[in-house]
């Protein structure tokens, strides 16, 4: 297994910059996920690591080796695509064995070695009973497992996955995701996984890289991405339902600070805001950090601070919880509430916000502001 290091990696297609000055250290044995909206440069980054695209600038290292200019077959990486790219006329066994047979001499493998490897991988993935079938006789999930097997059988240093689960139905995707995680634990392999699905990214990654227009926005553990998004883009992209974002102003008023926005104001303890001197600011509140005051508000360390009044517009049952859209002033806030509460559209409800979980952003730079440390004054 190996580390993968990208240094100032840039890829231009004509005038278009697909990837811009990327610096990334993927640890040996790490599961790293690249996530971002369509066109942000995820696949291009993966293809640059695989050697399927040529770098415009920068360096790519696999292990300690600079691989700029090294052809894909000599990089010791295995790539799994969204389209499984299996040979339709070959059996599962032959699909798994194909790459090893082609390079048998180079790898110093006997026919027996190849057979042992193919059967071992088939056992690992639970596809032994399918070895005699052809791809068209397999379900989508089984094909995906064979595609994975074809990568594993090569014992590569690094696995690269380009949206490998997106052709599967929702239930199967969850299943294969779990298998992939177990597989990663068992193989202790370096894996780099591309997806546009933030939930997939959060559930799979040891760390997640959020990309926008070819530029890294944040590299962090899933928990920190969620709890401390570095900017508004990450705050909007990570989390479902997404974070409520309100543009307003902070104003000092005696021993409280007021956040004022269209049609309502929220009174907050000074310790919960970056600085009461700040003018225009964006406040972020996750839907689960808002609760109906009729629910147990005692857990929330607030007196009068953090309370507001709203009117329920929409109720969406989600099983254990329900998602409410509550109009507060000119804003509609998403609120995750327990399902037991019998809430009807049109109802007027008191809301309490967890003042220890607020997120603050500079509306101009879009960067996160940290409570108590903000220095900007406008
Ligand atoms: P998706 O999720 O839609 O696959 P992505 O994040 O993987 O998107 P890339 O495929 O890496 O995005 O593409 C990044 C940008 O580079 C896009 O604007 C795309 O149009 C452009 N691009 C990719 N490949 C080429 C190419 N061969 N020639 C010209 N432009 C390209």
On average, the pLDDT of the chain sits at: 89
**Same structural domain, 135 and 269:** no
**Same structural domain, 25 and 167:** yes
**Same structural domain, 281 and 185:** no
Confidence category of residue 378, pLDDT binned at 50, 70, 90: very low
**Same structural domain, 38 and 137:** yes
Per-residue pLDDT at 373: 53
**Structural domain includes residue 237:** no
Per-residue pLDDT at 144: 85
Cα-based distances in Å from 266 to 165, 232, 311, 331:
43, 21, 16, 13
Burial of 212: CB neighbours in 10 Å, binned 0-12, 13-18, 19+: middle
- Name the domain boundary from 204, 230, 256: 230
**Structural domain includes residue 95:** yes
* Separation CA 161–CA 142 (nearest Å): 17
CATH number where 93 lies: 3.40.50.300
**Same structural domain, 89 and 112:** yes
CATH number where 357 lies: 2.40.50.140
Per-residue pLDDT at 182: 87
Q: Of 69, 46, 48, which Cα lies nearest the Cα of 159? A: 46
Residue with tokens 């399918």: 130
**Which residues does ligand 1 sit against, CB inside 6 Å?**
13, 16, 18, 36, 38-44, 196
Distance 16 CA to ligand 1 centre (A): 10
Per-residue pLDDT at 124: 81
Residue nearest to atom 7 of ligand 1 (CA): 43
**Same structural domain, 252 and 330:** yes
Mean pLDDT, range 310-319, rounded to an integer: 93
Per-residue pLDDT at 377: 40
Atom of ligand 1 nearest to the CA of 211: 6
Most informative mutation of 16, 162, 165 for ligand 1 (most atoms within 8 A of CB): 16
**Same structural domain, 134 and 219:** yes
**Same structural domain, 257 and 149:** no
Number of domains in the chain: 2
**Structural domain includes residue 376:** no
Mean pLDDT, range 153-161, rounded to an integer: 91
**Same structural domain, 35 and 175:** yes
Question: Residue 62 forms beta bridges with which residues?
Answer: 4, 65
Return the half-sphere exposure (C-beta side, CA atoms, 13 A cut-off) of residue 47: 15
**Structural domain includes residue 9:** yes
Distance 201 CA to ligand 1 centre (A): 19
Query: Could you tell me the residue range of the domain that residue 264 belongs to?
Result: 244-369
Residue nearest to atom 27 of ligand 1 (CA): 13
Per-residue pLDDT at 305: 67
Give pLDDT tens digits for 118-152. 998 898 888 899 999 999 999 888 888 899 899 88
**Same structural domain, 178 and 267:** no
Confidence category of residue 308, pLDDT binned at 50, 70, 90: confident
**Same structural domain, 10 and 125:** yes
Per-residue pLDDT at 294: 59
Q: Provide, rounded to the nearest whole percent, the portion of the chain with pLDDT above 90.
A: 61
């Amino acid at each position: 297994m190996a580390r993968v290091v990208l240094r100032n990696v840039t890829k231009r297609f004509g005038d278009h910059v697909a990837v811009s000055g990327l610096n990334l250290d993927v640890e040996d044995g790490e599961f790293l996920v690249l996530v971002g909206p369509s066109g942000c440069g995820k696949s291009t980054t993966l293809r640059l690591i695989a050697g399927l695209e040529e770098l415009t600038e920068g360096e790519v290292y696999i292990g300690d080796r600079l691989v700029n200019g090294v052809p894909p077959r000599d990089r010791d990486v295995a790539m799994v695509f969204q389209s499984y790219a299996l040979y339709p006329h070959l059996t599962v066994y032959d699909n798994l064995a194909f790459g090893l047979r082609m390079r048998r001499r180079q790898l110093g493998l006997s026919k027996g070695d190849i057979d042992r490897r193919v059967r071992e991988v088939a056992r690992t993935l639970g596809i032994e009973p399918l070895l005699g079938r052809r791809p068209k006789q397999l379900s989508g999930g089984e094909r995906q497992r064979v595609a994975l097997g074809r990568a594993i059988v090569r014992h590569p240093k690094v696995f690269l996955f380009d949206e490998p689960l997106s052709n599967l139905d929702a239930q199967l995707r969850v299943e294969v995701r779990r298998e992939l995680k177990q597989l990663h634990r068992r193989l202790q392999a370096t894996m780099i996984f591309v997806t546009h699905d933030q939930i997939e990214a959060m559930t799979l990654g040891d760390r997640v890289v959020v990309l926008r227009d070819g530029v890294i926005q944040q590299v962090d553990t899933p928990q920190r991405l969620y709890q401390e998004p570095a900017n508004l883009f990450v705050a909007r992209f990570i989390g479902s339902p997404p974070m409520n974002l309100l543009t307003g102003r902070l104003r000092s008023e005696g021993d409280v600070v007021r956040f004022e926005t269209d049609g309502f104001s929220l009174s907050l303890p000074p310790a919960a805001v970056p600085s009461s001197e700040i003018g225009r600011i964006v406040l972020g509140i996750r839907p689960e950090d808002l609760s109906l005051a009729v629910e147990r508000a005692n857990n929330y360390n607030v007196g009068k601070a953090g309370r507001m009044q709203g009117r329920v517009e929409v109720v969406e049952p989600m099983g254990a919880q329900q998602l409410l859209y509550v109009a507060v002033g000119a804003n509609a806030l998403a609120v995750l509430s327990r399902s037991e509460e019998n809430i009807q559209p049109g109802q007027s409800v008191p809301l309490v916000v967890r003042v220890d979980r607020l997120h603050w952003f500079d509306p101009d730079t879009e960067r996160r502001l940290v409570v108590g440390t903000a220095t900007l004054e406008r």
